[in-house]
Structure 1
Amino acid sequence: MASSTSYSWFLTFCILTACSLPASSNDRDYAKALLKFKESLTNTTMLADWQDQLVDKLCSWNTPKWTGCLCLNGSFIGLRLEGMGLGGRIDVNSLANLPLFSLSVMSNNFSGPFPSGLNKLRKLRSLYLANNGFNGEIPDNAFSGLKAMRKVVLRNNMFTGKIPISLLELPRLVDLQLQNNQFRGRILDFWQGNLRVNLSYNKLQGPIPATLSNQNASFFFGNINLCGKPLHPCKPKKSILRIALTTAAVTTFALAAFIVLVIISRRRAKPLQYEKSINSFYKEKETSKKNEHGKLYFVRNEMEGFELEELLRASAEVLGSGSFGSSYKAVLFNGLSYVVRRFRQMSNVGKEEFYEHMRRLGRLSHPNLLPLVAFYYRKDEKLLITQFVQNGSLASHLHSKRSPNQRALDWPTRLRIIKGVARGLAYLYKELPSLTLPHGHLKSSNVLLDSEYKPLLVDYALVPVLNKDRAHQFMVAYKSPEYTQNDHVTRKTDVWSLGILILELLTGQFPANYLRQGRGPSADLAPWVNSIVKGEWPSELFDKDMNLGISSEGQMLRLLEIGMRCCEWNPERRWDLREAVERIEELKERDRHDDYSSYASEGDTHSYRAMSDDNVPFSRA
């Protein structure tokens, strides 16, 4: 961060917090405490300059000498350790004697309970624990005594239990962000003036306190049963007798249904694991009105049509159950195979809008897109039907154990795959200019490979029809830096997904944050690559299954840089798709004569060693 920007940020910080800095400080003692704190962390590669405990000064005016330290007027005032891939635990005891006004460990890999003894940090004004894996209940007294606290940011974790009551003891609290957790129970009667509280996507219930009735309604979305302003009015409570009778009736009905199902299941022969009929998944629909079943709607004239009944009678292999529903391989009587994707989270739009969007997808045609064949519409359930691709997904080739006759993906194959992915994505950008996220869910498991290892993109352009809460919880685009930090996506968000895919393709490492529900940090694969690139020659990170050769290493390094430029944390500095595709198209399977030696001397664009710290792709602006 430039010094002028740092000064502006810290000046604003001090104005907001009215903090008084110590006239002098014993930076050697502070350094010892920080080194003790570092011992409790894991994956501390990005804190490599935290070494000399005999350092005389941690700050050169507003510029820290150690990564992640915050400085103002030559004094150490806090820690900002964001997006560094850190894990381990937060050792509060080692920080207790520091003049810590702000503590941020956002977008790392911390997990486990809320940091114990945090209320020992009496000077703390701002706490940022967002975008990690913290879980469990927060003790009621966790914030007791922190009278100066103004900002508490705990969003995008897995905290459970009730909202800690000690938050009511913070007289200066102005910003509380608890969204995307699993807090239960009622909302506290917050009394602090000018307080902004975001409680969306938890498991809270009951009436919203009148003191929060002026908040934005979106701050309460995604909870179990909240009511009152700014949401809908609360309904009168039912009588205890009526509730008891209703509960008894429901319980009796459920028990009777269970007994019937057990009897039926014992009388039926058990089907083979992979020869179930898709019709077996729709037995519960048979009592529905006939006109609700409708027909399959084919969106491609060149495809041979078939009836819904044929699909329901076909033998089906269960391919898996993903974030949005189950997938089945259906083999029709004519021998043709199709994949049926079953979605329950597509009630975001009405029938006409859904039909129009599916017809729009049906008009798309590109060698690197798997085309939609047909769809089936019900109000509470949709089916999307595509052809079956025999060779599986890119993810399975990169991360699953290979069979004896399955070859590894060498460098030429991987280069052809990423070129095909880039071309398919560029086509989506061209044909869907009105969509902010032309793909939205670009990852290795959504890149299928045909028999010649040509890539086919799937699950593209579904953001407009998916339920928003489901999309925000599972789709790759909503794990991007701009969404996890600022709650928005841009036309460059798919480019970020492309960059992560490139790094995965080159390293063979799976982006573990994709497994997290909700907005997981992007800070696992990308900073790991960045830490190696900032060090010695980065060829050591390449997947050995590529059958590396010196004649290809220069081209691999070029693709590595493209991936890093696509993964810029700041979207304004991130390459747009046009430039990324152009650079990918320039790559060759082998280096030209003299190309490898010239690669390391072409300056900032094609040399990692020439990059200044300000140009490191994953550094925060």
Structure 2
Amino acid sequence: MPVTLFFFIFLFFFHPVVSLSSDGLALLTLKSAVDGDGATAFSDWNENDPTPCHWSGISCANISDDTDPRVVGVGLAAKGLRGYLPSELGNLVYLRRLNLHTNAFHGSIPVQLFNATSLHSIFLHGNNLSGSLSPSVCNLPRLQNLDLSDNSLAGTIPESLGDCSQLQRLILAHNKFSGDIPPTPWPKLKNLVQLDLSANLLQGSIPDQIGELNSLAGTLNLSFNHLSGKIPKSLGKLPVTVSFDLRNNDLSGEIPQTGSFSNQGPTAFLNNAKLCGFPLQKTCTGSAQSEPGKNPGSARQRVNRSKKGLSPGLIILISVADAAGVALIGLVIVYVYWKKKDNSNGCSCSRKRKFGGSGNNERSNLCCFCWSLGCVKGFKSDDSDMEESEKGGGGGEGGGRGEGEGELVAIDKGFSFELDELLRASAYVLGKSGLGIVYKVVLGNGVPVAVRRLGEGGEQRYKEFAAEVQAIGKVKHPNIVKLRAYYWAQDEKLLISDFISNGNLANALRGRNGQPSPNLSWSTRLKIAKGTARGLAYLHECSPRKFVHGDIKPSNILLDTNFQPLISDFGLNRLISITGNNPSTGGFMGGALPYFKSSQTERINNYKAPEAKVPGCRPTQKWDVYSFGVVLLELLTGKSPDSSPGASTSVEVPDLVRWVKKGFEQESPLSEMVDPSLLQEIHAKKEVLAVFHVALSCTEGDPEVRPRMKTVSENLEKIGS
């Protein structure tokens, strides 16, 4: 009894005391520095807890076996926090990541913060911070990521940044930094991959030393400042994968033409009134023009000077005479042709049946267009392309064909067969969409082809249709589906292309049960990414019309038996508009697996660039770059950006781009973002990260910042080679 009584007396007079760790006490200063409106973010921050490791936004790790877990991460981004940054945050000596971006913190960045020497990532962008950037920032020996953009920081950029030897990303955009860009830090930053000093008040010239940033990737962004003087030639020594953004400055002189300058488009230099030379339309004059070969426009200028002897009136007279002569010759050819046709034994196609039979049987045979096939004797060859275009004008004012007439025109000389052979072969429906029905047809020699039926309208626009098809047919690349021939009649328009036997990337990634094909190893996915990039770069840079695809997505990337990708469906929207149908998303040119409208058109196309969703905007090549970036992210993550009613959230992410960017900002483990089926390929980790970076550069919100497809392709080719 006395022992029991003593125990209760002890409990009554001596309460056990629970003390919060030093890391927790430092964090409570942040809670007290925030106005009451942000209290909900700290609802579980309790001063009576022994450790802060279970608090919202706090992550901890065991530094050693004999110590308690320590705070290594603070993540309270976009929480609506309004207040100041307390200096006590510098007491978190094991803090690695400070992520407080997109809040309303004001005041200066405390110098004491840089006492937290384990910090390697500071994300404070999107606040109202002011004051200067302290030179003490490089007291952090492990600092890799410093993003202070979208604040009101002022003063000069400290030269001591060169002491941040591990720095990889320096983003100071949209502040009020002024003065010259210091020349000394850049040669020391051997690991810097991103530099963004845009939208500040910087002046003076661009330092030559920036050209020594050999590890730079993505975009060198110095736009929207007051930089002056000539663009240093040393920037040409930067990696060829680097895109420049020097817009809206006061730069002058001729744009250098060496090294990485050759990969830049005109948008990189816009709104610099005193700049001249390629790739701008403004040619240089004076001494710059006198050096032969220096400016791509110099030869053209000399030609123009040699023509000064011709008066404008004489030039107009010669042009009119030439046009009249060509028109007269065309009329003669058309007259002779139709005279000959009237005297020949033609046939009437009044008893025709349409391609695909009644349309009720989706595995029906191809029926003849006419019971009598005398209308079309066979296949025209590529040699008669010009003759074919001229004949198109004889059927009426609009260039249409006569009633019932048809033309089967071969675009590829090495690909020939009779029309009768095509029309009598067995055909099977592959898919239907707003871009037409697609059939698989096996010819008599055993060669399968894909036949797309476009529709029945557009009979008055034959010349326009033929010109578009011929332009598509001239695109020849191993990663682009090849158009072999086309058929034109008043009530039938067909495109005949190669049949690609292994389906498309969408089916390979998702399959019929939502699981990727077991054959989609990392090396295969990388091969698909590289091949698709090569094909798109060819369409953008080397094709006759510098095509814009406008609808890049996995269902339009077909796969052969070796999983080599082939891009399909480019140029079809234009042909559909000529035939009078309404284009929609989806469809095939040469595809192998069904893609029926009933299930697929309900999806929202989240592969499109943000600006592509604005009604009335014309497609651009940067649309394709964005869409390709989303395809890359899908290859990497295994997650689809499509959203549809009843979709499985385990494999679909409606905003895949934002999801991946958030993962990188929060430094989530790679295993949480990458496709689980790739986790066994440990050796590919560096390659996977490299492709992630390429994909993120493609999906930049600002189209001007996105790289060209040529640059994207070159970057991918370097990975794993």
| TM-score range for the pair, normalised by the shorter chain length | 0.3 to 0.5
Q: Give the structure-1-normalised TM-score.
A: 0.47
Q: Give the structure-2-normalised TM-score.
A: 0.41
Which structure has the larger Rg? 2
Return the structure number with greater relative CO, CA threshold 8 A, min gap 6: 1
